[in-house]
Structure 1
Amino acid sequence: MSSSLDTHLMLAPLPQHHQLWLALSGGLDSVVLLDLVVRYCQSHYQALGETQRQRQAQSQASGSSSNLKVPALKVIHIHHGLSPNADQWALHCQQLCQDYQQRFDIEIECQVHRVLLDKSGNIEAQARQARYQVFSDALQQDDLILMAHHSDDQAETLLLRLMRGAGSQGLAGMPQQRPLGKGQLLRPLLNYSRQQLEVYANQQQLRWVEDESNASLEFERNYLRHQVMPLLKQRWPSTNRALSRVGQNLSDSAELNRDLAELDLEKVRQGDNSLCCQALTELTQIRQTNLLRHWLQQGGMPELEQKQWQIVFVEVIAAREDAEPCFDWGGYQLRRFRNRLYLLKPCKDDLSQAQTSKIFNNPPTYHLADLPLGAEKLRLILPGGEFVLCSMKYQPDQETGSACKKPVLLSLPNEGYLELRYRQGGEKICLLKRGTKVLKKLLQEADIPPWQRQHLPLLWWCNPAGKERLIAVADLWFEQDFISSDGAQGWRLNWQPD
């Protein structure tokens, strides 16, 4: 390898970002990356943005640009608590950051995050999931976090996934850059080997720690690293490069699959992001799987295993027409209702069960007489979402003089109070030109899935004498006597679920 590693980051500007982060374990790889990034920050100070420079300038008492520090680098160390040396590793990372801050006169904030793991489960998977969750939670909009994965890591990852029977998307390996939380994750050393990083570290006389667990063959990645990879490299010295090419080819294939899935989704997806089962089954089996994998991944559901795919196709999609099957996986639910597939995120179904009784006994109440004079917006909060009421009136079109498409506006009395509740059963509402309707019947006619019906908020008006009337069901149906007349001021209601 050429000596270009020491100038790699300094020659190739990082993607635009708001705050730069770095994941630091204290091992060789991340210490090398820390050294490179600190030098990068110093040499690229002028390129890091006028806004950040001004912010730094204001923090300097002298106000002199010659004394400015570069924008802060934030470093995260994950304390897994698995090793008796974990506390020393955390201290080592903090000391490293302090040393670099003094040597290069830049601001470095080192954060140590402790995570709890279940030692009876898969420690490798838990530790990885915990790390990425901390990173995701820390990143704000347009932040960038750097990780020190290298080509040996990439090769090991590909082989591990191959042995687990992964498809083209999994075998594409670790991407150089991908979204993470509100920001982006970048692996700038992915094209360099661990040996090259070690040469650089020795040249720069860097200090790093060795995790004793890295020698344990009990862990799958260590077994590959110490038993399998040396044999492969002995027979094929270019193993890393070859596996990298394989990963890139499979990444291209996975991208084509995603493009095809998006084209199929246009034909199958409904306005509420559900899928039409009839349109889905008109595709070939392999395209159905490709489409569903892409759609479920977009929704956040963990990757399904072979047995789970069989359940989805046989027990959910192919279930009888009047059935309402539900498939649970990783906290998510895949449901079918009236020829449509719905993906529900975790905890959504538990909302009303956990809080409905409290709402029934003590519903959120808003006294109309207490509204601020001239108020233009009301927010009525209910666990699971909020009603937003905006004061407005119908505006005629300036060119034609005709009325714009009219939203339904509510006319609220000046007395009494409003209450928000969930359904209890037996509710009725009088609709304009349709008369009194039972809410249960309306929900059925509108094809609203059963699991959504219990989450629809009901807005009630109660007069001073205690008489109550249901005046709105979410933002779907409205009591006719409370609808504003043409040209009159009213309240536009919008239900915004969590």
Structure 2
Amino acid sequence: MTTGAKPVPGFAWPEALCAPVRSLPAHNRLWIAFSGGLDSTLLLHLAAYCFPGGPDLRAVHINHQLQANSAQSEQFCRQNCEALGIELQVRRVDVRAGNAEGSAGGIEEAARHARYAVFEEILQAGDLLLMAHHADDQAETVLFRMLRGTGVRGLAGMPRERALGAGRLVRPLLGFDRAQLSKWANEAGLSWVEDPSNVDERFDRNFLRHRILPELKERWPGLNARLRHTAAACAAQVALTDRLAEIQWRDCSPDGRHLCTERLSQLPLPEQKNLLRWWIRTSGFELPSIQDWGQVISDLIHAREDGEPELLGAGFAIRRFRGRLYLVPDWSEPETTNVELRPEQPLCWGNWRIRLLPVAGQKQTPPAIRVSTRQGGERFRPVPDGPGKRVKKWLQEQGIPPWERPRIPLVFSQDGEEETLIAIGDLWCSGQYSGGAPAAGWRLIVERDCD
């Protein structure tokens, strides 16, 4: 533990430091990500100073259980929050349980994912989470990403503010150097806990922090400001490319859900790539690591008509069907092919939600209802008294992509020895179970995107 003098009673924090905290966006609750280190300890005391007695000020400490002093750090955080009258949530995560050491980013990246997963879990609508990243962290991030060969988006560094779960993350200290924060923390008489992993130069970031950045700063004074300007310029460029993608999406996606390959093909390759990457990101997925985007895009657009080109990513795929590109999530599959649908008990079926509800005044017990996927040979009558049709052929006529057809729930009613198909996903439902006054006395509701 690094200890300053006894905390100075009534210490007045500089207005320049208070300003970004006092000018936070409107919020319901304010959370401080509190590790116990110098930066987050200063931020905790600063927030308590700017919002004295605020009942909606809270802190969260993530104990990764990776360091020998993790218990000491947790206890330090508890004592600080108790002294300040701030409610503290402590969450312990088991990073090694997920074989983090074998992951692409190693133990550091696994710990980060675990930490942010907790943040997303606790944040509610209207909540802000403050993190104590500062100008040295930003410089380190930009340089680290440059060395990894990142693009403009990566060189934009850490944003001052962004969405996180149901709330928002804000970094109010990005404009201050660590030396400034250290000076103020000592003047305030604060103490904090040092993380022993921060001096281990086997980690790339620590190597940059302790060996490379000091040399660069000696050679080029004001390096933090220079890299901050670079990050700001890159962030502005990212905003422009995102805006371009939004405009082109409206032109290339007539239905707002799929991309028209003919219209996409009319764009230059850099704009095609930008639009596809924007689509993936705004759909909530990580960009896949692709060496030759040009070849992938060419395959998606120009593969033969009966081809099945595909762009695969973590949790999704982009596929083509009848001149359109579809972004298809990896939906969970039903556990079985036959499930009984009980009255007034919603059934989650893959990414579908199915309900059987009584019409007002209905007292009769409905017939047995089962849900299944297509097994082959199913037939139904799209129009009462009309000709029967095979479900397989009808789905093709409706333009349903081939990868969706095996997932669509088919709903059957059993009346004695006779079984009747009464619904095909949300595409068709028998008049016996739909409309304002369903003849069966029960209304069948089939909806997509079950949580």
Identify if the C-alpha distance between structure 1 residues 269 and 416 changes in structure 2 by more than 3 Å, giving closer, same or farther.
same
1:116 paired residue among 95, 112, 123? 95
For 1:476, give the aligned amino acid: L
1:344 paired residue among 328, 331, 337? 328
Q: Give the whole-Å Cα distance in 1 for the aligned partners of 2:176 and 2:46.
A: 13
Deviations 1:304-363 (A, max 9, x none): 3341635632544443221223333223222222322222224x1x413xx134xx2xx2
Q: Give the whole-Å Cα distance in 1 for the aligned partners of 2:353 and 2:175.
A: 49
The number of residue pairs the alignment matches comes to 429
Pairwise CA distance, 1:293 = 1.0
Pairwise CA distance, 1:9 = 4.9
Is 192-201 or 321-330 further displaced after alignment?
Answer: 321-330
| Partner in structure 1 of residue 5 of structure 2 | none
| Partner in structure 1 of residue 24 of structure 2 | 14
Q: Give the whole-Å Cα distance in 1 for the aligned partners of 2:242 and 2:256.
A: 21
1:83 paired residue among 63, 67, 82? 67
| Partner in structure 2 of residue 24 of structure 1 | 34
Q: Give the whole-Å Cα distance in 2 for the aligned partners of 1:389 and 1:225.
A: 61
Matched, 1:456 2:440: no
Is 442-451 or 23-32 further displaced after alignment?
Answer: 442-451
| Partner in structure 2 of residue 312 of structure 1 | 296
Q: Give the whole-Å Cα distance in 2 for the aligned partners of 1:247 and 1:304.
A: 23
SS of alignment partner, residue 70 of structure 1: coil
Matched, 1:289 2:241: no
Does the 8 A contact of 1:30 with 1:147 survive in 2? yes
Q: Give the whole-Å Cα distance in 2 for the aligned partners of 1:258 and 1:288.
A: 12
SS of alignment partner, residue 246 of structure 2: helix
Pairwise CA distance, 1:460 = 1.5
Pairwise CA distance, 1:496 = 3.2
| Partner in structure 2 of residue 370 of structure 1 | none
Q: Give the whole-Å Cα distance in 1 for the aligned partners of 2:268 and 2:430.
A: 47
Matched, 1:383 2:349: yes
SS of alignment partner, residue 435 of structure 1: coil
SS of alignment partner, residue 451 of structure 1: coil
Does the 8 A contact of 2:252 with 2:260 survive in 1? yes
RMSD: 2.7
1:172 paired residue among 142, 156, 159? 156
Is 115-124 or 465-474 further displaced after alignment?
Answer: 115-124
1:298 paired residue among 268, 279, 282? 282
For 1:214, give the aligned amino acid: N
SS of alignment partner, residue 214 of structure 2: helix
Where structure 1 has 5 or more consecutive residues not aligned to the other structure, the ranges are 43-68, 102-106, 368-377, 394-410
TM-score (norm 1): 0.79
Deviations 1:203-236 (A, max 9, x none): 1111111111111221111111112211221122
Sequence identity, in percent?
37
Does the 8 A contact of 1:78 with 1:115 survive in 2? no
| Partner in structure 2 of residue 330 of structure 1 | 314
Identify if the C-alpha distance between structure 1 residues 37 and 485 changes in structure 2 by more than 3 Å, giving closer, same or farther.
closer
Does the 8 A contact of 1:430 with 1:480 survive in 2? no
SS of alignment partner, residue 321 of structure 1: coil
| Partner in structure 1 of residue 262 of structure 2 | 278
Pairwise CA distance, 1:414 = 6.1
Q: Give the whole-Å Cα distance in 2 for the aligned partners of 1:341 and 1:77.
A: 43
Q: Give the whole-Å Cα distance in 1 for the aligned partners of 2:387 and 2:175.
A: 70
Does the 8 A contact of 1:429 with 1:478 survive in 2? no
Q: Give the whole-Å Cα distance in 1 for the aligned partners of 2:438 and 2:147.
A: 69
Where structure 2 has 5 or more consecutive residues not aligned to the other structure, the ranges are 1-12
| Partner in structure 1 of residue 7 of structure 2 | none
Does the 8 A contact of 1:356 with 1:422 survive in 2? no
| Partner in structure 1 of residue 340 of structure 2 | 364
| Partner in structure 1 of residue 10 of structure 2 | none
Q: Give the whole-Å Cα distance in 1 for the aligned partners of 2:177 and 2:94.
A: 29
For 1:14, give the aligned amino acid: L
TM-score (norm 2): 0.87
For 1:445, give the aligned amino acid: E
Is 77-86 or 313-322 further displaced after alignment?
Answer: 313-322
